[in-house]
Amino acid sequence: MEQDITSRFTFFDCIRRNLTPLLVIGFGFILILTFLYYFYIQPQTDIGPEQPIPFSHRVHAGVKEIKCQFCHPYVARSRHPGLPPVEKCLYCHKYIIPEHPEVKKDHWYLENQIPIPWRKVNYLPEHVLFNHERHIKMGLVCDECHGAVEAMDRIKAVRFKMQFCVECHKERKANMDCWLACHS
């Protein structure tokens, strides 16, 4: 019993005497956790939203060099670039890795006649008029506005602020009469 008390005393004594090094260790521990958080967890917030099928632009447009316009065929012809219907995925995936679990989801969507519910990534405020057609016809490449899509697994949203439109329009001497051209 007596021995128990002394040993407890020595334990607290020990802590009190070593308070500084213990604080340093504790603080260091917190620093390491913060570091790990920012380097391993935080970057996830820097990639785009999760999609119903983890479709990778890096694999398709990068590694396999499939042309952007193969899947977004209306980009130079209309307001909306278009997203590929599931039939287009299966055009290849009927033969390429058809048993891959993520590719099987393609089959499921087709069989059930449900369009793949891709989550929209890029948004413009409603009052902004933007048309790809004019831009693509002027020879602008996708990267100029969307970044290096062919290096992205998940597409990341670009924050299209007005400054972004205006700067390039100034540079390329495009229409600056924004109230007529870009705003409804």
Residue 128, strand partner residues = 183
159 part of the interface to ligand HEC, by CB under 6 A? no
Q: Measure the CA–CA gap between 8 and 99, rounded to whole angstroms.
A: 63
Quote the least distance from Cβ 42 to ligand HEC, whole Å.
21
The pair of three-digit structure tokens given for residue 134, joined into one six-digit string: 């004019």
- Write the CB contacts of 35 (distance below 8 Å, at least 6 apart in sequence): none
144 part of the interface to ligand HEC, by CB under 6 A? yes
Alpha carbon 80 to its chain's center: 20
Quote the least distance from Cβ 45 to ligand HEC, whole Å.
17
Interacting span for ligand HEC (CB under 6 A) from 2-10, 16-24, 25-33, 159-167? 159-167
109 part of the interface to ligand HEC, by CB under 6 A? no
Quote the least distance from Cβ 8 to ligand HEC, whole Å.
59
Quote the least distance from Cβ 85 to ligand HEC, whole Å.
8
Q: Measure the CA–CA gap between 179 and 166, rounded to whole angstroms.
A: 12
Q: Pick the closest to residue 136 from 90, 48, 61, 67 (CA basis).
A: 67
Please answer whether residues 117 and 52 qualify as being in contact, where contact means their C-beta atoms are separated by less than 8 angstroms. yes
- Residue from 66, 73, 74, 156 in contact with ligand HEC (CB under 6 A): 66
Size of the site for ligand HEC (CB under 6 A): 63
Please answer whether residues 112 and 102 qualify as being in contact, where contact means their C-beta atoms are separated by less than 8 angstroms. no
Q: Measure the CA–CA gap between 60 and 92, rounded to whole angstroms.
A: 11
Residues that bind ligand HEC (CB under 6 A): 51, 53, 55-57, 59-61, 64, 66, 68-72, 75, 80-81, 83-84, 88-89, 91-93, 96-97, 100, 102-103, 106, 118, 120-124, 128-130, 132, 134-136, 138, 140, 142, 144-146, 149-150, 155, 160, 164-165, 168-169, 172, 174-175, 181-182
